[in-house]
């Protein structure tokens, strides 16, 4: 995490940490681990989609890291870059250290290895990403939609999502709020 947003007293140490973490990961996983990326809010490490399960297990079980909690797993669509990103946030409560890992999956056929065997919490979070972004989590034992109904068409959080005109006969056509005539207003 960048200093400004880091846990008080940890900021700088963790900033240096991410470089150290990246070096250790690179030594273990080689080219599957990318360089540290600098963001405006936090820095992150990019990992290949077919190696994320190994990296996650390593970060969770290795005594040097011990990221025992997965606080978030979410996704974001980047059509202009041609990939869908899955974002993992880990926390080690002992040291207060936080880490963000991102995985870029090909937009046409997005496949990412599951981490549900590392953190059980990933089960529903991956189902949510599957539901809303259509990412196929390889190895997930129960990959079903979690929020939308099972017979829903499409993945609404994709930028090119087109809404169906109706759902089981219920029209989804909505009047634009800007086109409504308000009496007395020209």
Partner 1 sequence: MSLINSVPEMVLTTKIDQLLNWTRKSSLWYMLFGLACCAIEMMQTGGPRSDLDRFGMAPRATPRASDLMIVAGTLTLKMALRTKILYEQMPDPKYVLSMGSCANCGGLFQLGYSVCDGVDKVIPVDVYVPGCPPRPEALTEGLMMLQDKMMQEKWLVRSESPASA
Q: Which residues bind partner 1 (CB under 8 A)?
A: 147-149, 156, 161, 163, 167-168, 170-172, 174, 177
Which residue lies nearer to partner 1 by CB, 96 or 156? 156
Which residue lies nearer to partner 1 by CB, 64 or 160? 160
* Phi, psi (deg, nearest 5) at residue 54: -65, -45
Task: Tell me how many helices (H) and strands (E) the chain has.
Answer: 3, 9
Which residue lies nearer to partner 1 by CB, 149 or 184? 149
Which residue lies nearer to partner 1 by CB, 144 or 168? 168
> What is the token pair recorded at 107?
């937009």
Q: How far is the CB of 176 from partner 1 (least distance, A)?
A: 9
> What is the token pair recorded at 81?
């870059």
C-alpha to C-alpha distance for 75 and 49, rounded to whole angstroms:
13
Three-point CA angle 110, 116, 118, nearest 5°: 125
DSSP state of 7: P
Which residue lies nearer to partner 1 by CB, 63 or 165? 165
Q: How far is the CB of 156 from partner 1 (least distance, A)?
A: 5
Q: How far is the CB of 127 from partner 1 (least distance, A)?
A: 15
Of 64, 135, 74, residue with least CA distance to 106 = 135
């Amino acid at each position: 995490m960048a200093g400004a947003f880091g846990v008080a007293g940890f900021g700088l140490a963790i900033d240096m940490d991410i470089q150290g973490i990246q070096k250790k990961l690179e030594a273990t996983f080689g080219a599957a681990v990318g360089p540290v990326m600098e963001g405006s809010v936090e820095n992150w490490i990019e990992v290949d989609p077919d190696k994320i399960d190994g990296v996650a297990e390593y970060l969770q079980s290795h005594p040097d890291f011990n990221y025992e909690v997965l606080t978030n797993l979410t996704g974001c669509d980047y059509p202009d870059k041609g990939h869908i990103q899955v974002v993992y946030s880990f926390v080690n409560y002992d040291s207060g250290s936080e880490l963000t890992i991102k995985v870029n999956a090909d937009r046409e056929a997005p496949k990412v290895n599951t981490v549900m065997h590392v953190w059980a919490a990933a089960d529903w979070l991956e189902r949510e990403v599957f539901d809303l972004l259509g990412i196929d989590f390889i190895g997930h034992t129960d990959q079903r939609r979690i929020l939308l109904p099972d017979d829903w068409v499409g993945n609404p959080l994709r930028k090119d999502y087109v809404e169906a005109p109706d759902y089981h006969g219920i029209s989804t056509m909505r009047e634009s709020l800007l086109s409504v005539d308000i009496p007395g207003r020209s």
